[in-house]
Amino acid sequence: MSCHLAPGGPPIRGCGATGSDALSQAKPGPCRRARSHDGRLPRMTSAEALQRLIDGNERFVSGASVQRLPTHDRLEHLAEAQHPFATILGCSDSRVPPEMVFDQGFGDLFIVRVAGNVVGTEILGSLAYALGHLATPLFVILGHEGCGAVQAALRARLGGATERGNLAALLDAILPALQGIDPRESSAGQLHSAVETNVRWAMRQLAATPGGRAALADGRVRLVGAVYELATGRVRFLHDEGAQALQTPS
């Protein structure tokens, strides 16, 4: 089953479809269609939103992106209101623009970008806005291979390197994610592991907020982690088991 979900948007497969390796790893959750804060039905479920991101990344990787600049009519329509279908917390890295990586257009994604995709007070405020006012059914923490912020935090933890001021504060936000990193591992292996544990750390922090905990518990939203591969353009969604475990923070 296919359906068009937004003006000009590409068709997506039906809820619960399983068509790619990435999807089978991430396993779309229950097809629960939550209401937005004003009572309107959103355009899609979390499973449909996840599938739309997966399909968009497939198009991007294969060089078949369909997004073009918006028309004036589209801009005028968007000026009335925004109804993004997913919220993404990603890194500021210039090589990881979410709209392009997922082949989405204006008004599709609510994006928060900060070096190292770290969670802080203002970040949580932005995500809380997306949760409470935009009612996006899907939240994605998007890390990426070769992340310089995570690399710097690794150097601080394992090599004793130091930074000052606000940069040190940024690295401090990543350090808790690195506790399980094996110092005997290769540098590349450490960074690969650290990028993933940093994504899971952000997920855990988001899931631990009162709003996040309530929304995840009643199935209003889905929280998934993902890692973007710089050299291939592919987004690797983390295994669902880990995401589920993070819904009950200890």
User: Whole-number minimum distance, CB 106 to Zn ion, in Å?
Assistant: 24
User: How do beta strands 235-237 and 222-228 pair?
Assistant: antiparallel
Q: Is 147 in the site for Zn ion (CB under 5 A)?
A: yes
DSSP for 6-29 reads STTPPEEEPTT---SHHHHHH---
Asked if 93 is part of the footprint of Zn ion (rule: CB under 5 A), the reply reads yes
Q: Are strands 109-113 and 86-90 parallel, antiparallel or unpaired?
A: parallel
Specify whether the CB–CB gap between 52 and 5 falls below 8 A.
yes
Least distance from C-beta 239 to Zn ion, angstroms? 22
Q: Which is nearer to Zn ion, 45 or 190 (CB)?
A: 190
Minimum Å gap between C-beta 229 and Zn ion is: 13
- Across the chain, the runs of DSSP E, i.e. the strands, are 2-4, 11-13, 86-90, 109-113, 138-144, 222-228, 235-237
Instruction: Rule CB under 5 A: say whether 145 interacts with Zn ion.
Output: no
Question: How many residues make contact with Zn ion (CB under 5 A)?
Answer: 3
Q: How far apart are CA 2 and CA 15, in angstroms?
A: 9
Q: What's the distance, CA 84 to chain centroid?
A: 13
Choose the stretch contacting Zn ion; rule: CB under 5 A; options: 59-67, 75-83, 84-92, 241-249: 84-92
- Min dist. Cβ of residue 247 to Zn ion (A): 25
Residue 91 interacting with Zn ion (CB under 5 A): yes
SS3 223: strand
Binding range to Zn ion, per CB under 5 A, among 7-15, 37-45, 119-127, 142-150: 142-150
Q: Which is closer to Zn ion, CB of 10 or CB of 225?
A: 225
Stretch that binds Zn ion, among 85-93, 126-134, 163-171, 223-231 (CB under 5 A): 85-93
Contact footprint for Zn ion (CB under 5 A): 91, 93, 147
